[in-house]
Amino acid sequence: MKTPRRIVLMITLLISSGVPAVGAWDGPTSSAKDRNAALAKVAAIHGAAGPFAVIGYRIGQRALVMLATPYGSFDLDVVHRTPLEVQYSCVADGVQAATGASVGKLNLHIQEATVRQMETIVRNKATGQGVVFRITPEAMSRFLNLPHARLEAAGRDVLDLSDDQLFSATKR
């Protein structure tokens, strides 16, 4: 099902203003409306809500909570260390959708790394606290190299999994 352009535009405007589009997606028990809003936020930034972009969104949401940092804060600094290949790099767009960090605000950075070195580091510059996120081998295996026709469903599947099934989070 395609999202009407008017809804995508509205969500994009809400994202850029820092106002949540609907409610915060807070796990598999979230309402269908909140789940759809989370997917729409990812699609507004990334163009689609595939699994790696949605994992990035989940990482970004968890980072905001762990670092007690609001959406859109200039105190947030994100470094996504990744192979420069689609799928792995998609995580950065999901983190952007969740946190409001961006290349234009100079607080979202991509650094080339190998698959084994892949990680997302989120730091609150004001407090010095940070968290390192790594996608679990199980999530990587489950979602890597899916046929294009299965990406949207896989993005929805990501919302049904716990954070621990998707990534590790280590305070730094």
Number of domains in the chain: 1
| Residue-number span of the structural domain to which 95 is assigned | 5-171
Does residue 32 surpass a pLDDT of 80?
yes
CB-CB contact of 171 with 62 (8 Å): no
C-alpha span between 121 and 130 (Å, rounded): 7
Provide mean pLDDT across the span 85-111. Answer: 98
Query: Which segment of 10-14, 83-87, 88-92, 102-106 scores lowest on mean pLDDT?
Result: 10-14
pTM more than 0.95? no
What is residue 31's predicted lDDT score, i.e. its pLDDT? Answer: 85
CB-CB contact of 55 with 98 (8 Å): no
What is residue 21's predicted lDDT score, i.e. its pLDDT? Answer: 36
Identify residue 37 by its one-letter amino acid code: A
The CATH code of the domain that includes 20 is 3.30.1330.130
The H-assigned helical ranges of 78-162 are: 90-99, 137-143, 151-159
What is residue 29's predicted lDDT score, i.e. its pLDDT? Answer: 56
